[in-house]
A and B are shown apart, each in its own frame.
Chain A
Amino acid sequence: MGKLSAFTDSKLVLLAIGLLGITILAALFAPWIAPQDPYDLAQLYILDARLPPLTRNADGTLFLLGTDDQGRDVFSAVLYGLRISLGVAFVATAIAVVLGTSIGLLSAYAGGRTDAVLMRIVDMQLSFPAVLIALMLVALLGTGIEKVTIAIVAVQWARYARTVRGAAMVEREREYVEAAQCLAYSPSRVMFRHILPNCMAPLSILATVEVASAISIEATLSFLGVGLPITQPSLGLLIANGYPFMLSGNYWLSIYPGLVLIAVIIAINIVGDRLREVLNPRSER
C-alpha cells in the first residue's frame, strides 16, 4: 500500500487522475449527459447556428460552448468526440499491447536469429516518425474507424515489443526462471506466467503514455482529413471542421475540442511520469 500513497501524495497527479476520471466517465456516458444528439439532424435548428458560448436561443436552451454553423451544440459534439477519440485510442492500445508483448516475449525467449530478425524490424519501424507511417497506411487502406485503429496498432506494437523484450532479457537470467526450467515447465508457461508478470512495470508505464500518443495520432489523421469519416467526428475532426471559422471569429468551434484534447494528453502524461517514478524497479525491494 506504500505505493498507492506514494502515487497520490502529489496534488498535480491527483488533479490529473481526477480529470482523466471525469473525461472517461463523460465519454462513456456521453449519450446521457449531452443535451442533444449532435448527429441527429432532426434536433438541429439552423436558427441556432453560430451562437457564442453561454448564450441561450429563443427557446431559452443554454449552449454552454456555443453552436456550429448548423446549429449543433458544441458541448454535445465534444462529448461525443471524446467518446470516439478515447474509444479508438483504448482499443488500438489494447491490441498493440497484446501483439507487441507477445512478439517481445517470443523474441527474448527464442533468442538467436528469431530475435535478431524481429528486433531489426522493430528498429526499422521505430526509425520513422509514427504519424508518417500512419499516414502512409491510411493512404493505402483508406479511411474508417477500423483502418485508423489498424494504423495505430501498426505504429505502436514495435515500442511494446522492444520494451517487453528488453525487460524479459533481464528477467530471463534471473534464478526464478532457472527454477521454473528446472521444474520442466513448458516454455509458454515460463514466458507468460513467470517472465511476463515481472515485466508489468515497464509495460504499464509505456501503455499509459502510448494511449496519449494514440489519441494524438488519431487526431492528427482526422485533422488532416484522412482519419475518421465525417459521420464519426472525433476531437481531431471537430478541430478540423471548426478551423475555417477561426478567422471569422467563431473561435469556439475549434478551441474547445482542442483544449479537451490537450488536457487529456497532458493528464495522461502526468500520470505516466508518476507511474514511472513509483514503479521504477530500483525503488522496488
Chain B
Amino acid sequence: MTATAPILEVDDVSKNFEASRGLLGMPLLSRKREVVRAVSEVSLSLGQSEVLALVGESGCGKSTLGRVIAGLIRPTSGELRFAGISHTVLSAAERRDWARNVQMIFQNPYASLNARQTIREIIEEPLRVHRIVPKSDIAARADELLDQVGLDPSFGKRQPHQLSGGQCQRVGIARALTVVPRVLVCDEPVSALDVSIQAQVLNLFADLREELTIAYLFISHDLGVVERLSDRVAVMYLGRIVETATRDDLFSSPKHPYTQTLLDAVPKIGRSRAHSVKVSGERPSPLDPPSGCHFHPRCPHATDRCRVEIPHLKAVGSNQFAACHLYE
C-alpha cells in the first residue's frame, strides 16, 4: 500500500430510515410507511492523516453518514472499505476490528460519558476489553492518555458531572484514542461547547494530528471551524454530497450554487468566528425530497433539466468535484 492510498473509502452508501407517521404515532394504525432518505449514494475517500470536513445544514444526514462510517448503523446499501478491505456485513469479530480502526467523538460531551463510571474506568475499559496493553500497564497507559489530551491524571478519580464540557470532551477523545484508531469520526465535537473552550479543543485535535497517524472525518456546520482545521471539504445537501474540493479551492472558488450560497451567507472578514451554515428559503424534508436536483427549489440558476434529472459529481477543477448541471 502506498502512502497515497486512501485509508477509508465510502462507496455508494445509502441509508434509509423507515418512519411511520400513523395515527397518534402508533405503527399499527399507520396507513403507509414513509422512508427518510437520510443518506443517498454517497461516495467519499479519506486519505491517511487527512482531515476531511463534512458540512451541511442540520438534518442533511451528516450524523447518519458518520454513524454508518463508525459502524454504529448498517447502511441500506453500499460498501465501506478500510485500507482496501471491504466491510459490508460485520460479524462480531469484524465489528471489533472495525472499532479498533474507526472511532467516533460525539456531539454532546456529557451525554457521551457514562455518568456512573469514573474517568479512569471510562478510559481503562476499552484497554481491558480490547487487550490493548498487558494488564499491568493499563493504569499507566490510562495516565498517559489523559496527559495526551491535556488532563492531569488526578482527573481519573472524578466522575463526569465533576468535569466541564471541554474536559468531558477531552475524556471522550482519550477514550477513542485507547484503541489507537486510524480514523476518527468527529460529529460536531465542539458545537456544544462555549466559544472560548471550542478553540482549545480544536487545538487539541490539531495537536493530536501532528503526534499521531490519524485521519479525521470532521462533521461541522461551522465554516469557521472547517476553514481552520480541514484539508478537504465535502458539502452535503439533503443526503447527497454536492461538492468536494480542497479547502482552499472550496473557499476561494466554490462551484456548486449551494456552496456559493453557504459562503455568501458568511461575511468574509469575520469568517474565522463561529458561522453556522444557513441558507434562505425553506429547507425541504428528506421524507419528500424535491425531484431532480434536490437544491433546485432554492437555486437561482435552476433550469427545467434540474427539476427532473439528478446531477452526479463531476470534475470541475483539478481536485474539485460538483454535482450540478451547470458544469457540462
Contacts and interface: CB of A to CB of B under 8 A. Distances in A.
A181 interface: yes
B32 interface: no
Interface in A150-198: 174-176, 178-186, 189, 193-194, 197-198
Contact of B99 (A184, A197, A198): A184
A217 B2 CA distance: 73
Given A175-B106, A175-B107, A189-B129, A182 B71 contact: yes
Interface string B201-239: 000000000000000000000000000000000000000
Query: Could you say which interface size class chain A belongs to?
Result: 10 to 19
Interface residues of B, number: 31
Contacts of A184: 71, 92, 95-96, 98-100, 129-130
B88 interface: no
A285 interface: yes
B115 interface: yes
A197 B116 contact: yes
Contact of B114 (A186, A198, A285): A198
Interface string B104-148: 101110111111110000000110011000000000000000000
B103 A285 contact: no
A186 B95 CA distance: 10
Contact of B175 (A179, A198, A200, A285): A179
Contacts of A197: 114, 116-117
B310 interface: no
A103 B202 CA distance: 44
Contacts of B116: 197-198, 200
Interface string A268-285: 000000000000000001
Interface of B: 67, 70-72, 92, 95-96, 98-100, 103-104, 106-108, 110-117, 125-126, 129-130, 161, 172, 175, 179
Interface of A: 174-176, 178-186, 189, 193-194, 197-198, 200, 285
The 5 closest A-B pairs by CB, nearest first: A184-B99, A197-B116, A175-B112, A175-B111, A184-B96
